[in-house]
Structure 1
Amino acid sequence: MDSSLAIVIATALGFLIGGGFVALLHVADQHRQQARAVLEPRLPDGIEHLLGALDSIVIVCDPSHNVYQSSPGATSKGLVLRGGRLATPVGELVDAVRRAGEPITRDLEIPRGPFGSAELMLRVRAAPLATRFILILADDRTEAVRVENVRRDFVANVSHELKTPIGAVSLLAEAIDAAADDPEQVRYFTDRLVTEAGRLGKLTNELINLSRLQSADSLEKAEILELRPIVEQAVDQARVAADAKRISITLAEGSGERVYADPGLLVMGFHNLVANAINYSPEGSGIGIGIRTVDGGVEVAVTDQGIGIAPEDQGRVFERFFRVDAARSRLTGGTGLGLSIVKHVVENHGGDIRLWSQPGRGSTFTVRLPLADADEVAA
C-alpha cells in the first residue's frame, strides 16, 4: 500500500474515533445534567411571585438548612447568616417541622448583632412546602412586645400610685369620724385629707394629660405663636410654689422667636419643667431660664441649683413614675409623671429635650423646638 494512502486512512480513522469519543462525552454530559435536574430540588412554578406578595419575611430552605430563596429582611433580622445558612434557632425550628411533618409556630429571640445583649422578638412559622422544601414566614414583634411591656408596667404603676392616696383618704376619713369629739384632731386630719385628695387629683389629671399626649390628635389646637409669653405663663403658674421656698426665677427676654404649637400643651410642658426645678432646689436658691435661636430651632434651657442627678439615673428621668428621690417626691406631692409629660409635649411638637446634671451642683434641661416656617409667619 502506498505510504501516502496509509497516512490519509490513519488520519481519517483518528478523526472518526475522536469525533465519536467527543460525541460520547457530550451524550454523557447531557445525561448527567438531566440526572442532576431530577435530583436537585426545584421550587414549584410561580412560587416566587406568590412569596413576593407576602408582607412577612420569607425564607425557603431544604431540610439540611440550605437557603434557596429569602427576603432582604431575612439577613438584616439575623434569620439567615452569611454563607446562606440559617441561624441556629431557625434551624432548630426547621428540624422540628421535618420531624413532625406539619406546620409549627414559635416566638424566637434573635440577637440584634454580635455585640451587646439586645434582641429582636420574632414570631416565626415554618411548614413543609412541596416535597423537598421548608417555607419559613417571620414577623418582627419587637415593637409590639415593647409596647405591651410598657402598657403592663404602666398599669401596674398606676395601680400602685393610686392605691397610696386612696388608702390614705380612707384611713383619714375613719380617723376624722373617730375624733369627732376632738376639734383639734379633726382639723389636723382634715388638713391631711385635703393634701391626699389634692395628690390624688393631681395624679388623675396628669394621667389624663399623658393619655391626651399619646393620642393621634394631640396638636389639634396648634397655631403659630411667640414662645416667650408661653414660657412666662408657665413660670407664673409656678410662682406660688417658688415664693414659698424663696426661690427666684429669672427669665431671659428672648428675640421674638415663634413656633407652631398647641399653647395649652406647651404651657403644661414648661410648667412641669419649672415645677420640677422648684421641687428639687433648696430654699433661697435661683432658677434661670434662657431662650436662644440655634440651627433653625429655638432652645429653652431651665437651670436650677438643686441636688443634681446621678449619672446612672440620668437615662431614666423621663420614664413614667421614675423618681430620683422618692422621699422628696412624697413630701412635695410629686407623681413621677412630670418629666415624662414634658418629653411627650416636646416630641409631639417635633422637638427634643436633653439633660446636663451634676450631683450637688444642679441640673439643666434644654428643650429644642423647630422655629415656625418664615412663610407661615408672614402669612
Structure 2
Amino acid sequence: GANDVGKQAGGWTLNWQGTGTTRKDFPNADTIYEGIAQQAKAAGGEAILSIDGTYTQKPDVAVVVFGENPYAEFQGDLQTLAYKPGDEADLELLKRLKAERIPVVAVFLSGRPLWMNREINASDAFVAAWLPGSEGAGIADVLLRKPDGSVQHDFKGKLSFSWPRTAVQYANNVGQAGYDPLFAFGFGLTYADKGDLAALPEESGVTGDEGASGVFFARGDAGSGMALRLETADGQGVTVTKVPDALDGDLLKVTGVDHQAQEDGRRLAWSGKGEAVAALQSHTALDLQRESNGDVMLLTTLRVDAAPTAEAWLSVGCGTGCTARVALAPTLAKLPVGQWTRVGVPLKCLAKA
C-alpha cells in the first residue's frame, strides 16, 4: 500500500468500488512512499520501495504500509471484524522483518476498525492511518523527524470509532451495555505519551461458522458454510473433503495445484465423456438479488491449462428447476493458456439469465 494512491483513497472515489485506478488517475497526489522518499532524500538518507519486503542492504527501519483493498458496499461487506481472514501474508511479512531485528513501523490503511492484535504484536509501532487519500505525504510528515531530530509534526488524531478487542465485538459503541473495547473512543497517542503495550491476546473469537462474507472458495477450500461437490448430470457425486478425488471413470477429477502457496488451488480436469458439474453448495440459501442491481461481480482467479472442447457454463441456482446460467467457454477460450487470470462475471448477467 505504500505506493498506491487508489488503496490510500478507498471506495467512493473515482468510481464506486475504488478499484481499477492507476497512478496517473491522481496527478496531484502523493503516495506515502513518495512523501517518505522526498523527506529522506532531503535529510541525506534514502527510502527504498520493496513490495515484498526483501532488501540487499539491511535497512534502519521498515515502514510497512498495508491494509484493506478499496471497497464500497456489498463487495466490502464483512461477516466479522477479522482482517483478511485466511490471508496472512501481511502478518507474515511483519513477523519476518521483526525476526530479522529490523524495527517495524506498521501503517494500516482501512475504512473501519478491525481486529489487528496479531499485527500490533508484530510491530514496534502501529499507526491507524485510515484512508489518507491523495495526501500520503501527510503520513510521512508525522512519521519522520526534522533533520535535527526534533518532532516535525506530532500526532493529533483520536479514535472516532472504538477499536475492537476481538473480531466478533460488534456492540462496541460508547454507552452500550458491556462496553469494553481494546482502545476506547477518543484514544490516541502523541510522541510525548508512553505507548508501550503488553502482548495482546491473539484469539480472534471467530468460530468456524463465521467465515468471510462473500467468499465462497479460497486457498483450496470451500468457504464457511460451503461445500465443494463433483456431480454427474443426474446429481450423483462426491463431496470433496480431500484431494485427489474424482467421479467414476475420472469423468471429472480434482487435484491440488500451487498458486500462491502449496496446493492452495484446485485443478479440475474433465474427460469430455459426458456432462459433469463442479459445484460450490451453500448449506443455507444465499439471497444475492440486491447485489445484482449494481456492478457486483462473481470473481475468480483461474488458469486455463486447455480450453474446453465443448460447452462450459457458469450457473447459479437454488434446488432444481431454477438455475440461471451463462456461457463460459468463449471466455475461457480467449484466456492465455497456463497463466493465472482474474475473471469477473457480473451478477446482473446471471439475474438476467
TM-score of the aligned structures, taking structure 1 as reference length: 0.22
Which one has the bigger helix percentage? 1
Q: Which of 1 and 2 has greater Rg?
A: 1
Which has the higher relative contact order, 1 or 2, with Cα contacts under 8 A spaced 6 or more apart?
Answer: 2
TM-score of the aligned structures, taking structure 2 as reference length: 0.23
